[in-house]
């Protein structure tokens, strides 16, 4: 089980790995060994996620999810397949953690009197600097 947060854990059976040739580091091995790892996770059909969590993940990670609802994470940073697989899984966990954290909406506030005063003072100073640049007639 891969633990995302307190209430969410995903079975490792739901993750699919695909290996291919990497364009990253590898020296002479780069053209012979499949070190690039692509992790696939079917968000749409996952039994581990509730409908609410699926919607949150789909909306926040929409650029990484295709039309079939499959999330894709690629890693080709390291020279070995095992290291890339570990890196892809860690990035997957981080992506889901970020997608499942909910921030409260921002409250609108008025600017303070001091901040208004400072803003107007800087505008006056800038205006005065520009006035001094003009030629005297």
Instruction: Establish if 128 belongs to a structural domain.
Output: no
Instruction: Establish if 46 belongs to a structural domain.
Output: yes
**Model confidence over 5-53: pLDDT tens digits?**
777 767 667 777 777 776 755 566 666 667 778 888 887 777 777 778 7
pLDDT at 31: 64
Domain hosting 21: range is 2-100
The residue behind tokens 């993940």 is 57
133: pLDDT strictly greater than 90: yes
Contact 17, 37 (CB under 8 A): yes
Contact 81, 38 (CB under 8 A): no
Could you tell me the CATH number of the domain that includes residue 89?
Answer: 3.30.160.20
Instruction: Establish if 129 belongs to a structural domain.
Output: no
Q: Which of 86, 84, 71, 64 is CA-nearest to residue 23?
A: 84
Q: Which of 24, 19, 21 is CA-nearest to residue 33?
A: 21
Instruction: Establish if 112 belongs to a structural domain.
Output: no
**Model confidence over 59-117: pLDDT tens digits?**
777 787 888 778 888 887 777 778 888 888 888 888 888 877 888 898 999 999 999 99
Q: What is the pTM of this model?
A: 0.61
36 φ/ψ angles, rounded to the nearest 5 degrees: -75, 135
């Amino acid at each position: 089980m891969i633990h995302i947060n307190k209430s969410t854990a995903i079975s490792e059976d739901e993750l699919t790995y695909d290996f291919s040739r990497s364009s990253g580091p590898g020296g002479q091995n780069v053209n012979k060994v499949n070190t690039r790892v692509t992790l696939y996770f079917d968000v749409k059909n996952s039994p581990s996620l509730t409908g609410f969590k699926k919607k949150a993940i789909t909306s926040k990670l929409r650029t990484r999810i295709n039309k079939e609802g499959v999330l894709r994470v690629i890693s080709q940073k390291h020279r070995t397949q095992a290291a890339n697989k570990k890196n892809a899984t860690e990035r997957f966990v981080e992506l889901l953690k970020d997608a499942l954290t909910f921030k409260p909406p921002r409250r609108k506030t008025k600017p303070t009197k001091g901040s208004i005063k400072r803003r107007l003072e800087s505008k006056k100073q800038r205006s005065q600097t520009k006035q001094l640049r003009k030629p005297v007639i």
